[in-house]
Structure 1
Amino acid sequence: MLLPRRARNRRRRESPNEATPDSMRTRAWGSQRGQRRDAEGWCGSPSSAERSPVRFRPIASLSVAAAAVLLLAGCAGGSTPDATDTASAGTGLCAAAAPSGAASDGVTVDGDFGAEATASFSSPLEVPGVERTVVSEGDGAEIADGDYLSYALTAFDAASGEQLGSAGYADTPLQPQQITSDSVLAQLFGCSPVGSRVVATLPASDQGGAQIYVLDILDATPASQWCVAGDFTGEAPTVVLNDGALPTVTVPQTAPPETVSVEVLEKGDGAVVEPGAAVEVYYSGLKWSDGSAFDSAWAPEDPAPFTTDAVVPGFKAALEGQTVGSTVLVAMPASCGYGVAGTSSNALAGEALVFVLQIASAEPAAG
């Protein structure tokens, strides 16, 4: 029998459990090393959108269209590819935009914005590097550094002209990706406003041949409005904190929250967790849909170490601003976890998630 919210506030705890680990452990949140290997392509950088306790499949095992999406997501927060000729010293999204060139200018695009595009060009098309040409400029808001972009793409093989696939349109949604001035997305989109359509050329890499992307900027959400933590407004999971063991969590048989919802179960008296901080955290994760556990790190003296920038947005929102020693309950929609259904190969895509986390330590971000 599920307890009402007011009863949950009288949760019991067998005895205090002060988290004071002696040293940083080597456990990595979400097997990030493995995911870096999976996401590396010509950019060779980890994906901020793929951190997960379930490893992604290698790109080679995905469809070509899905691989293209995964590659873009994997490069979204990474460094500039060696093959580009863009000015890395510039600042801001406008300066980060890749230049146009003979390859991108040589692509003719047909089709309505927001729908799968067709492209024609002389094949094989020589693609010496990343190039970008604005096909049509939108009249929406100008995107800003740090925004979360919703976009769609149609991919083509530069050698044959064959359409490889598409994603991000109504029937194949993509998880919004954060665009920063040092990301590959910034090279492709620059500071173009919402509603813009661009052609981008990507050179061949170890993952495959050169490709042509037609990309539509569908929407942009400021970082300050993305996955912001607030109080529970509906029924929340019930939690029993056990002595040094996994908490007992019961998820209600109701619709999950539409926003990141947080409740501090026990307030710690340690330092405040700053943005980007290196933390050690005990946690237990469950799926809202059936209450089943999918991951945990609650062994005594063995919290999981990571930075708050290295976890999914909902988990990050639950951590930052809390104090060391606190135990926190958080529930998040799929969009603030591992993405809505169909946006990735992660087994948790489409799942609203629940975490109970206990903050063992925190150090400010380096620099």
Structure 2
Amino acid sequence: MPLILFAAACGSDDSASTGASGGPGASGSGVKVTGNVGGKPTVTFPSGTPATKSSYEVIQPGAGNGIKSGDRVIVNLTVYNWDGKGNAVQGSSYDTKRPETIAVNEQIPQVLQEGFTKVKHGGRLLAVLASDSAPQQQATAPAEPTKVFVFDVVGTAPAPLKAAAGKETGESIKGVKVESPGGEKPPTLSTKTKDKPSDKLVVKTLIQGTGPKVQPGQTLTVNYTGKIWGTDKQFDSSWERGQPAEFPLGNVIQGWQQGLAGVPVGSRVVMSIPPALGYGDQAQQGIPAKSTLVFVVDVLAAY
């Protein structure tokens, strides 16, 4: 589970108290952070009761580009439960070796919205998220322990393209039709055919992008529509949701991992994915077992 989900559980509340940025202890929490940016930090907690007010403190300001509201910040983060007992570490992206991306917007607690704008690339931010940053809980719900985050800012994710852009190739997969209306309008995919699908992965480039090629360890931003071969039954579409999908390429089915690696950003591809590289014998919601999956995908960003 992404570590930032620990923060999401704290919700967003404009009344959360934000501490001053500045020298050590400026947040008033008494939490101390040592160690160099770029490595897992060491955090020491004051004795006594955990903080009940949310706050932040700039540990290292950083010397790179600044961060503004609306940016998607790539960070290494380490999170602790400040319960006044063990104060146990809950996880660190330095252990998983997978930095995470956080959108600096109203979906994250106010203390983080403000704190991130006070550090630059290469900087380190301490954030204490206490119960005052949580949405009003039901009286019967147990209170969440105060969370302490240390964020090391790696950089800012590139702004994704709006749609595939480049030269149309004229390529296609026999039995599959894709119509591209141009501009930012989504393509239409048809998979109703009597042709037998290949038992191997088939990937065709419909629009050749000019961006860098996707690498296996990257996080992608894409728009896509997925249908089942032969029936034209649609089971998913980010275009219809009105929001591109963002995910580490290593976290999706093998057909996507193999099919999108090496594709230039800005491209539109159509993929026929055999069951062995999809969901195999396991039925999924809207997808029968042993289905050949067909996707049309716009690769909008990779980092």
Structure 2 residue aligned with 1:263, among 194, 198, 207? Answer: 207
For residue 240 of structure 1, what is the aligned residue in structure 2?
175
Q: Contact (CA 8 Å) 2:18, 2:55: kept in 1 or not?
A: no
CA shift, 1:219, in A, is 1.0
Structure 1 Cα separation of the partners of residues 172 and 8 of structure 2: 32
> What is the TM-score with the length of structure 2 in the denominator?
0.54
Structure 1 Cα separation of the partners of residues 224 and 121 of structure 2: 40
Q: Does 1:356 align with 2:296?
A: yes
For residue 201 of structure 1, what is the aligned residue in structure 2?
128
For residue 152 of structure 2, what is the aligned residue in structure 1?
216
CA shift, 1:201, in A, is 0.5
CA shift, 1:350, in A, is 10
Q: Pairwise mapping of residues 21-40 of structure 1 onto structure 2 (< 5 A)?
A: none
> Which amino acid in the other structure matches residue 263 of structure 1?
I
Q: Does 1:126 align with 2:50?
A: yes
CA shift, 1:195, in A, is 0.8
Give the structure with the higher percent helix: 1
Q: Does 1:85 align with 2:17?
A: yes
> Which amino acid in the other structure matches residue 145 of structure 2?
G
Post-superposition Cα deviations, 1:160-212, rounded to whole Å, max 9, x if no partner, equal 25332433337420342322366434244224211110110011465731111
SS in 2 for 1:71: helix
Structure 2 Cα separation of the partners of residues 209 and 234 of structure 1: 55
Post-superposition Cα deviations, 1:8-51, rounded to whole Å, max 9, x if no partner, equal xxxxxxxxxxxxxxxxxxxxxxxxxxxxxxxxxxxxxxxxxxxx
Identity %: 19
Distance 1:285 1:160, change over 3 A: farther
Structure 2 Cα separation of the partners of residues 197 and 84 of structure 1: 21
- Larger mean Cα displacement after TM superposition, 159-168 or 127-136: 159-168
Post-superposition Cα deviations, 1:241-281, rounded to whole Å, max 9, x if no partner, equal 36965578769769x89xxx7639xxxxxxxxxxxxxxxx9
Structure 1 residue aligned with 2:27, among 98, 101, 105? Answer: 101
Name stretches of at least 5 consecutive residues in structure 1 with no aligned partner. 1-65, 88-93, 95-99, 265-280, 287-292, 313-336, 358-367
CA shift, 1:285, in A, is 5.8
Distance 1:161 1:118, change over 3 A: farther
Q: Does 1:141 align with 2:65?
A: yes
> What is the TM-score with the length of structure 1 in the denominator?
0.46
CA shift, 1:116, in A, is 0.8
Q: Comparing both chains, which one has the higher relative contact order based on Cα–Cα distances under 8 Å and sequence gaps of 6 or more? A: 1
Structure 1 Cα separation of the partners of residues 38 and 170 of structure 2: 37
CA shift, 1:146, in A, is 2.6
How many residue pairs align between the two structures?
218
Structure 1 Cα separation of the partners of residues 106 and 244 of structure 2: 20
Q: Does 1:70 align with 2:2?
A: no
Q: Does 1:339 align with 2:263?
A: no
Structure 2 Cα separation of the partners of residues 124 and 181 of structure 1: 32
Post-superposition Cα deviations, 1:38-71, rounded to whole Å, max 9, x if no partner, equal xxxxxxxxxxxxxxxxxxxxxxxxxxxx464323
Structure 2 residue aligned with 1:154, among 57, 74, 78? Answer: 78
Post-superposition Cα deviations, 1:114-153, rounded to whole Å, max 9, x if no partner, equal 1111111213443223210001110011123332211011
